[in-house]
Structure 1
Amino acid sequence: MILLSDVSKIYHIGDDTVKALDHAKMYVDKGEFVSVIGPSGSGKSTLMNIVGCLDTATSGQYFLDGQEVADYSRNELARIRNRKIGFIFQDFNLLQKLSAYENVELPLIYQGLSPSKRKEQVEDALNAIGLWDRRDHRPNELSGGQKQRVAIARALATHPSLFLADEPTGNLDQKTGGMLLDIFHRLNEEGNTILLITHDPNVAKEASRSVKILDGHVSEAKDMSEIEEVV
């Protein structure tokens, strides 16, 4: 599903040149649960932005479902982000003035679905993460764990083929984080592809396979000791 071939991302900041990614190579097969682990500043977020079609590489090739992403137009990339990829962020990215229901419904409005179809998919998504009874609550009326579950429901409602989770447990306590990882395991068992980015070795080891990133260099982690060495 995901194939990065010699992908580099270079930023020019004043007179300085920063290589956020340095000839990165990575693959994720359909239905896999893969974690990407690395310390702050290692290039994790840059990698996610490229995989999520939020940014483009300076050089190299990125293939999504066998199609090189560079071949897509801006409108086609927007459609991919809305229909193929479900994003889950550390800070939830919920709109404070909207209810949980409305936050989950929003991307479906952008998809142009009918009101009845939106209601069906929102209800299914909120029931899947156990928050249908909180559908009328706004984010400030929800706990951190509930906000993250709403964020998962928002991603789930669009029926994506790929979930991208960027430090999803970063703002949660250990117990709530564990519950969240249980949801990811269930989604993966149902056939969903998950790429989870983290700096926490205990979270990384929940995936079936781990990739480590350090100073923009990406490589396969062979065992737990390699994961712990990265951070």
Structure 2
Amino acid sequence: MIQMKNISKIYRIGGETLYALDHASLSIGNGEFVAIVGPSGSGKSTLMNIMGCLDVADEGKYFLDGQEIEDYTEDDLTRIRNFKIGFVFQNFNLLPKNTALENVELPLIYQGVPRRECRARARQALERMGLSERLEHRPSELSGGQQQRVAIARALVTSPSLILADEPTGNLDHKTGVEIMELFRELHGNGNTIVLITHDDGVAKKAERRLRILDGQVTEEAKA
């Protein structure tokens, strides 16, 4: 599904050249659950942004489903972001004035799905997350764990083939973080391809494969 070859992202600040990614290479197959683990500033989020077609590399080649990203048009990339990829973020990124149901409906509205179907699919996604009693609650009325479940429901409601999760347990207490990781394991068991970005080795161990990123370079971590 994903193949990156010698990907570099370069920032020039003053007279200094900084590599957020430095000839990083990796491969992720359909149905895998992969954790990319590394400390703050290692290039994790930059890698995820390129993987999710939110940013482009300065050097190297990125193949998605066997086709080089450079060959996709802007309209193609918009469709990939809207239909193929589900994003889960550390800060949840929920709209504060919208209910849980309305937040989960948004990606479907962007896709042009009829309103009644939007509502039915969003309700089903939230029920799958164990939130059937919280459909009309706004983010401020939900716990951190519940907000992250809403965010995961929003990522899943379009039935994407790839889920990208950037520090999804970073703002949660340990117990809630464990529950969210069990949820990802369950989603993986149902056939979802999941790429999880984290600084936490304990979280990364829940994945079936681990890649380590340091100073913008990616290495495969040997299985225990």
Within 5 A, what are the aligned runs for 1:23-62?
Answer: 23-62=23-62
Q: CA offsets, 1:16-69, max 9 Å, x none? A: 211011111101110000000000000000000000000000011101111111
Partner of 1:125: 125
Partner of 1:209: 209
CA distance in 1, matches of 2:62, 2:142: 38
Conserved in 1, the CA contact under 8 Å of 2:88 and 2:152? yes
1:10 aligns with 2:5: no
1:193 aligns with 2:193: yes
TM-score (norm 1): 0.95
CA distance in 2, matches of 1:42, 1:12: 17
Gap runs ≥5 in structure 1: 225-231
SS at match of 1:132: coil
CA distance in 1, matches of 2:4, 2:113: 33
CA distance in 2, matches of 1:108, 1:133: 22
User: By how many angstroms is 1:223 displaced?
Assistant: 3.7
SS at match of 2:133: helix
Instruction: Give the aligned residue type for 1:27.
Output: S
CA distance in 2, matches of 1:101, 1:16: 47
Partner of 2:176: 176
Within 5 A, what are the aligned runs for 1:43-192?
Answer: 43-192=43-192
TM-score (norm 2): 0.98
User: By how many angstroms is 1:117 displaced?
Assistant: 1.5
CA distance in 1, matches of 2:86, 2:192: 11
SS at match of 1:94: coil
Percent of matched pairs sharing the same residue: 61
CA distance in 2, matches of 1:82, 1:131: 24
Conserved in 1, the CA contact under 8 Å of 2:43 and 2:216? yes
SS at match of 1:134: coil
